[in-house]
């Protein structure tokens, strides 16, 4: 039996892999499978998963909800909830195959929806309001509908994950039948609470997906920081926290990707103190404001979105991460062997430095709803009547 | 025969002189500012007046032949679980004098000390501990108001701040020195604190007694205090530091103002405080311009206006039952940081009943305030400074894990300069030269010694904090802030754990 309840934050070691095609050409599922299976020893059969981008081109304007449910009743509740809160375009069971070693899997279904908005929000018809609403809805399902979890909710992408070795999970979800312009994969080695399908990676929010090898020792601090902004950490894993931090820093606070990475794995004060003035001010402010977003502890993460793949290590590089490229294909993985298994002769192969993100974005305009986070975007700060830190503009020395 | 003074019949301490070691050098007579050692000129011998001994151990420490031992007085009352000698003697004192019982330091009762029921985490296998001897380990902390988000712009391919941050205070170690006024403690201790704060990259707090002219040079490491008595307060003083602390209350005596007995008001003190020599400096219980939260806002902005918005304004309150709501009001009133002083917070002079029975433990208060500010979505915008009963670096770590940004230490810093916790600061006769202004006594603690001891203490604590952070697998103090995962309770009730938001060990 499997269950959807967890008692404590779980801890795991892992193997990760990711591939992106810069021109948006589709990569067959076998390729990522080969890379992750090469890192077999990094998992123990208690969790594996895949994120695939570009798999629903015909429904690319709809949020694709991959829902995992313990039973029919839970699914019905989800459907009732979606009927009420979304415009449902299409739904179907996620195709699966029976696998000998996978006993009693949960039910999987996908729904292609757009959230219903309040009149006022709808008037502006902006994507931000839609995204915000979608985040709320996902949080609500995960928190309130017992036995059901939304495992991915982005457009034109989806997550397939469960308890098993990567090859078993791939077979179960028929990964070889999908083609994607970005793939990430995960092979899990949990050290407690095994048998938890929701605990497998990737973790997602909207089209952010994360695979993660590590343990985030600052989990308690991060979770509390995120709660201030209305995120509810229901899955009790540190990876979930990473997904929400990205959403907050990049989507909501408009930080460029590079700075968001630097907020999560910041340079040391001794380095900041040596920077030229403008840069020093920037990084000092970044650390002061986003101390709650610092991911402390060993980690190597890959995260993807509709338009890019990013690899990031913790600030002292306590977990392995290798990157490579050949032509328009870029690879990232825990081990060089995983990359060489699918690309024996890369043009470039390197080990990214501690805290230095590897950001690979696709060329402009090659996929639908393409996103780019390289530039800063205007901040939407919630307005409050507070005068915390108020200084009359005439006396404020900051520009 | 006058009225008998019952209290004097039963001394607290007993001075034991080892005659085989004593060389009658009379050092003890010189050292004891309370007159417990007496030289009998006629008989050429030393006598003791046990009733005068406060248990400060100065004579014992200074005796060149180690011929003195200070013991609890062996004389005993018949045992009674309710009427212990403490209550009996207190009643004698009040029956003799008809006054309020006075004392010093913080709550002396054995209320549950929550710090002692919390244990810390460390890494094993699944994540590696970090070694601060080999890897950077960061304690830097910024105090003050923070905007909700950063505004970034790109200029010539480089990111920079669109709008700079308002002024914030940088601490290289999250330990500051609590408000102790010049007057309550000697100028030498103040000089030591100021210098140590500068060299450690932290702040000390002037307390309510104004700022001695010699200390203006330490301005960038100074918090000046504005308390209900407004002693020593003028615009140059307000502008002297980097922050102004409005003292509403303190943990040792919530609900009443500061006390500086006239005995301690010497010529120099009188100048700094701007009051006559020898007069009691009794601050009113409330600020008479703050009868409500909106009045507090008025004072906060009056101080900000007076200092051209260049200084941060802290508001310090005693941890009382409703501390969370009050703290939230303070943040909303515009304070840049809220200081909470718990039940165990010390003082130079307080009524015993206040010291021992009023207020709540700081651990519970930190957690409650942190929780409240989080619930209101404003915790990340402000800073919480906690104080009252922080005795070790582990207490600092626990306070931060419970949600504080930084702590104040007061008593610990005084113990570092030799205080033996005799709890008689209010007499002004401190034989260790700490809580006194007697020109002869203060010589016993030169400013250089005070500086060195205080500096060493905080340096050692900082090192220990780094070691503990490293063991937990984090290399920067901000990842400890409010991180209850790093704490487990041992021997606390469910209710206590709920308030502290910690799990029990084993969970």
Nearest to B473 among A217, A252, A294 (CB): A217
- Across B444-454, b (16+ Cβ under 10 Å) vs e yields bbebebbbbbb
Same domain, B50 and B164: no
Q: What pLDDT, on the 0 to 100 scale, is given for residue A6?
A: 39
| Residue B56 labelled as part of a binding site | yes
Nearest CA in chain A to B380: A225
B474–A298 C-beta distance less than 8 A: no
Nearest CA in chain A to B149: A253
CB B31 within 8 A of CB B431: yes
Q: What pLDDT, on the 0 to 100 scale, is given for residue A5?
A: 40
Interface test with A, best of B148, B173, B306 (most A CBs within 10 A): B148
Assign 3-class secondary structure to B128-175: CCCCCCCCCCECCEEECCCCCCCCEEEECCEEEECCCCCCCEEECCCE
Question: Hey, is the C-beta of A296 within 8 angstroms of any chain B C-beta?
Answer: yes
B148–A281 C-beta distance less than 8 A: no
Same domain, B187 and B245: yes
Domain final residue, candidates B77, B99, B121? B99
Could you tell me the CA-to-CA distances from B111 to A352, B357, B358, B389, B490 in Å, in that order?
Answer: 53, 10, 12, 12, 16
- Domain for residue B108, yes or no? no
At which residue do the structure tokens 């990676």 appear?
A201
- Domain for residue B437, yes or no? yes
Interface test with B, best of A189, A220, A320 (most B CBs within 10 A): A220
Q: What is the pLDDT of residues A246-255, one digit of tens each?
A: 989 998 899 9
Question: Hey, is the C-beta of A164 within 8 angstroms of any chain B C-beta?
Answer: no
> Higher model confidence: residue A142 or residue A120?
A142
- Rounded Cα distance between A173 and A162, Å, is 9
Residue A47 has pLDDT above 50, yes or no: yes
- Domain for residue B106, yes or no? no
Question: Hey, is the C-beta of A307 within 8 angstroms of any chain B C-beta?
Answer: no
Collapsed DSSP state (helix, strand, coil) of residue A180: strand
Same domain, B94 and B145: no
- Rounded Cα distance between B192 and B449, Å, is 8
CATH value at residue B84:
3.30.70.20
B154–A256 C-beta distance less than 8 A: yes
Residue A297 has pLDDT above 70, yes or no: yes
At which residue do the structure tokens 């010529």 appear?
B267
Contact list in B for residue A296 (CB cut-off 8 A) is 473-476, 479
> Higher model confidence: residue B70 or residue A130?
B70
Question: Hey, is the C-beta of B475 within 8 angstroms of any chain A C-beta?
Answer: yes
Question: Hey, is the C-beta of A281 within 8 angstroms of any chain B C-beta?
Answer: yes
Pairing of strands B222-226, A86-93: unpaired
What are the residue ranges in chain B where pLDDT is below 70?
1
Pairing of strands B337-341, B312-318: parallel
Domain final residue, candidates B33, B67, B99? B99
CA angle B161, B144, B226 (to 5 degrees): 140
| Burial of B175 (C-beta count, 10 Å sphere; 0-12/13-18/19+) | buried
Same domain, B444 and B322: yes
Contact list in B for residue A276 (CB cut-off 8 A) is none
Question: Hey, is the C-beta of B71 within 8 angstroms of any chain A C-beta?
Answer: no
DSSP H or E stretch at residue B487: strand B487-489
How close is the nearest chain B Cα to the Cα of A65, in Å? 29
Same domain, B87 and B151: no
Q: What pLDDT, on the 0 to 100 scale, is given for residue B359?
A: 97
Domains and CATH numbers, chain A: 12-361 (3.60.20.10)
ipTM: 0.93
User: Picking from A156-165, A204-213, A238-247, B277-286, which range would have the lowest pLDDT averaged per residue?
Assistant: A238-247
Q: What is the pLDDT of residues A76-110, one digit of tens each?
A: 999 999 999 999 999 999 999 999 998 889 999 99
A297–B168 C-beta distance less than 8 A: no
Same domain, B167 and B87: no
- Domain for residue B153, yes or no? yes
Where are the strands (E) in chain A, listed by range? 12-21, 27-28, 48-53, 63-69, 86-93, 107-115, 148-152, 157-162, 179-180, 182-190, 203-205, 208-214, 299-305, 308-313, 322-326, 329-333, 348-350, 358-361
Nearest to B479 among A217, A398, A399 (CB): A217
Q: What is the mean pLDDT of chain A?
A: 89
Q: What pLDDT, on the 0 to 100 scale, is given for residue A209?
A: 93
Give long-range contacts, CB 8 A cutoff, 24+ apart: B62-65.
B62/B27, B62/B28, B62/B31, B63/B27, B63/B28, B64/B23, B64/B25, B64/B27, B65/B21, B65/B22, B65/B23, B65/B25
Query: Domain total for chain B?
Result: 2
B378–A388 C-beta distance less than 8 A: yes
- Domain for residue B122, yes or no? no
A255–B160 C-beta distance less than 8 A: no
Stretch A42-51: mean pLDDT, rounded?
A: 87
CATH value at residue B459:
3.20.20.70
Stretch A331-353: mean pLDDT, rounded?
A: 96
Q: What pLDDT, on the 0 to 100 scale, is given for residue A1?
A: 31
Strand partners, A212: A301
| Residue B53 labelled as part of a binding site | yes
Active-site annotation of A, residues = 14
- Domain for residue B130, yes or no? no
Strand partners, A63: A113, A155
B332–A389 C-beta distance less than 8 A: no
A395–B130 C-beta distance less than 8 A: no
- Domain for residue B113, yes or no? no
Confidence of residue A12 (pLDDT cuts 50, 70, 90): low
Question: Hey, is the C-beta of B379 within 8 angstroms of any chain A C-beta?
Answer: yes
Same domain, B157 and B86: no
Q: What is the pLDDT of residues B409-467, one digit of tens each?
A: 999 999 999 999 999 999 999 999 999 999 999 999 999 999 999 999 999 999 999 99
> Higher model confidence: residue B507 or residue A383?
B507
Stretch A261-272: mean pLDDT, rounded?
A: 97
- B residues 488-507 near A, CB within 8 Å? 507
Q: What pLDDT, on the 0 to 100 scale, is given for residue A387?
A: 74
Pairing of strands B45-48, B68-72: unpaired
A220–B483 C-beta distance less than 8 A: yes
Same domain, B154 and B229: yes
Contact list in B for residue A257 (CB cut-off 8 A) is none
Same domain, B174 and B95: no
Pairing of strands A107-115, A63-69: antiparallel
| Residue B28 labelled as part of a binding site | yes
Q: What is the pLDDT of residues B37-66, one digit of tens each?
A: 999 999 999 999 999 999 999 999 999 999
Same domain, B18 and B164: no
| Residue B59 labelled as part of a binding site | yes
Tell me the residue range of the domain where B40 lies: 8-99
Contact list in A for residue B482 (CB cut-off 8 A) is 220-221, 224
Collapsed DSSP state (helix, strand, coil) of residue A153: coil
- Domain for residue B133, yes or no? no
User: Picking from A141-145, A324-328, B32-36, B196-200, which range would have the lowest pLDDT averaged per residue?
Assistant: A141-145
Phi, psi of A21, rounded to the nearest 5 degrees: -110, 120
Q: What pLDDT, on the 0 to 100 scale, is given for residue B119?
A: 98
Q: What pLDDT, on the 0 to 100 scale, is given for residue B459?
A: 98
Nearest to A256 among B140, B159, B474 (CB): B159
- B residues 304-333 near A, CB within 8 Å? 308-309, 331-332
Q: What pLDDT, on the 0 to 100 scale, is given for residue A144?
A: 92
Contacts of A326 (CB under 8 A, 6+ apart): A343, A345, A346, A347, A348
Same domain, B74 and B156: no
B165–A288 C-beta distance less than 8 A: yes
Same domain, B167 and B62: no
């Amino acid at each position: 039996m499997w269950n959807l309840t967890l008692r404590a934050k779980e801890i795991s070691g892992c193997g990760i892999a990711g591939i992106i095609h810069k021109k948006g050409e589709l990569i067959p599922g076998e390729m990522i499978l080969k890379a992750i299976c090469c890192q077999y020893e990094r998992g123990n059969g208690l969790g594996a998963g895949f994120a695939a981008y570009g798999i629903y081109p015909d429904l690319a304007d709809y949020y694709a909800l991959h829902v995992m449910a313990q039973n029919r009743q839970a699914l019905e509740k989800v459907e009732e909830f979606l009927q009420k809160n979304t415009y449902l375009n299409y739904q179907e069971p996620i195709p699966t195959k029976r696998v000998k070693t996978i006993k009693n899997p949960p039910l999987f279904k996908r729904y292609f929806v757009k959230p219903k908005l309040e009149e006022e929000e709808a008037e502006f018809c902006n994507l931000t309001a839609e995204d915000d609403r979608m985040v709320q809805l996902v949080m609500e399902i995960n928190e309130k509908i017992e036995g059901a979890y939304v495992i991915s909710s982005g457009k034109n992408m989806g997550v397939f994950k469960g308890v098993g070795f990567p090859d078993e999970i791939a077979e179960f979800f028929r990964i070889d039948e999908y083609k994607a312009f970005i793939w990430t994969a995960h092979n899990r080695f949990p050290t407690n609470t095994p048998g938890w399908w929701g605990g497998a990676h990737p973790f997602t929010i909207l089209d952010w997906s994360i695979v993660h090898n590590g343990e985030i020792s600052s989990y308690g601090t991060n979770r509390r920081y995120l709660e201030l902004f209305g995120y509810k950490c229901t899955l009790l894993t540190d990876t979930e926290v990473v997904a929400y931090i990205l959403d907050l820093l990049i989507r909501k606070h408009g930080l460029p990707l590079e700075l968001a990475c630097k907020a999560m794995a910041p340079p040391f004060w001794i380095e900041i103190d040596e920077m030229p003035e403008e840069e020093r001010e920037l990084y000092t402010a970044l650390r002061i404001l986003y101390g709650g977003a610092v991911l402390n502890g060993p980690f190597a993460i890959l995260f993807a979105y509709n338009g890019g793949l990013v690899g990031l290590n913790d600030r002292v590089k306590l977990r392995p991460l290798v990157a490579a490229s050949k032509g328009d294909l870029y690879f990232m993985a825990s081990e060089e062997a995983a990359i060489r298994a699918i690309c024996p002769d890369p043009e470039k192969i390197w080990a990214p430095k501690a805290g230095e993100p590897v950001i690979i974005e696709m060329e402009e305009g090659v996929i639908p709803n393409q996103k780019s986070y390289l530039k800063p975007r205007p901040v939407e700060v919630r307005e409050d009547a507070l005068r915390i830190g108020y200084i009359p503009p005439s006396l404020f020395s900051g520009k | 025969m006058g009225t008998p003074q019952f209290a004097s019949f039963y001394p607290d301490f007993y001075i034991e002189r080892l005659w085989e070691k004593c060389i009658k050098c009379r050092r003890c007579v010189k050292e004891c500012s309370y007159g417990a050692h007496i030289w009998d000129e006629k008989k050429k011998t030393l006598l003791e007046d046990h009733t005068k001994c406060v248990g400060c151990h100065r004579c014992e420490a200074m005796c060149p032949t180690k011929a003195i031992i200070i013991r609890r007085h062996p004389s005993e009352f018949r045992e009674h679980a309710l009427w212990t000698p403490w209550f009996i003697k207190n009643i004698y004192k009040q029956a003799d004098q008809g006054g309020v019982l006075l004392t010093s330091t913080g709550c002396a009762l054995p209320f549950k000390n929550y710090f002692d029921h919390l244990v810390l985490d460390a890494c094993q296998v699944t994540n590696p501990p970090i070694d601060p001897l080999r890897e950077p380990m960061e304690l830097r902390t910024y105090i003050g108001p923070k905007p909700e988000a950063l505004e970034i712009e790109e200029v010539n391919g480089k990111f920079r701040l669109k709008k700079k941050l308002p002024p914030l205070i940088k601490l290289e170690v999250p330990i500051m020195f609590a408000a102790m006024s010049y007057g309550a403690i000697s100028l030498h201790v103040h000089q030591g604190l100021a210098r140590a704060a500068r060299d450690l990259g932290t702040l000390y707090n002037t307390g309510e007694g104004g700022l001695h002219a010699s200390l203006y040079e330490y301005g960038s490491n100074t918090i000046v205090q504005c308390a209900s008595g407004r002693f020593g307060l003028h615009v140059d003083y307000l502008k002297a530091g980097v922050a102004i602390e409005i003292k509403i209350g303190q943990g040792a005596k919530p609900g009443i103002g500061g006390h500086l007995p006239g005995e301690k008001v010497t010529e120099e003190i009188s100048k700094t405080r701007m009051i006559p020599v020898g007069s009691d400096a009794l601050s009113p219980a409330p600020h008479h311009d703050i009868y409500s939260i909106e009045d507090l806002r008025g004072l906060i902005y009056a101080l900000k206006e007076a200092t051209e918005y260049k200084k941060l304004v802290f508001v310090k309150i005693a941890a009382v039952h409703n501390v969370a709501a009050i703290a939230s009001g303070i943040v909303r009133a515009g304070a840049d940081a809220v200081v909470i002083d718990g039940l165990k917070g010390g003082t130079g002079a307080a009524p015993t009943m206040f010291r021992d029975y009023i207020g709540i433990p700081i651990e519970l208060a930190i957690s409650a305030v942190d929780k409240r500010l989080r619930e209101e979505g404003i915790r990340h915008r402000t800073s919480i400074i906690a104080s009252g009963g922080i005795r070790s670096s582990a207490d600092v770590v626990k306070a931060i894990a419970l949600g504080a940004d930084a702590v104040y230490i007061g008593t610990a810093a005084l113990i570092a300069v030799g205080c033996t916790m005799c709890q008689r600061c209010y007499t002004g006769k401190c034989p260790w030269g700490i809580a006194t202004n007697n020109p002869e006594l203060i010589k016993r603690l030169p400013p250089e010694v005070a500086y060195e001891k205080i500096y060493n203490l905080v340096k050692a604590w900082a090192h220990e904090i780094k070691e503990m952070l490293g063991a937990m697998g984090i290399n920067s103090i901000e990842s400890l802030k409010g991180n209850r995962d790093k704490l487990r309770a041992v021997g606390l009730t469910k209710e206590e754990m709920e308030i502290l938001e910690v799990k029990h060990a084993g969970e």
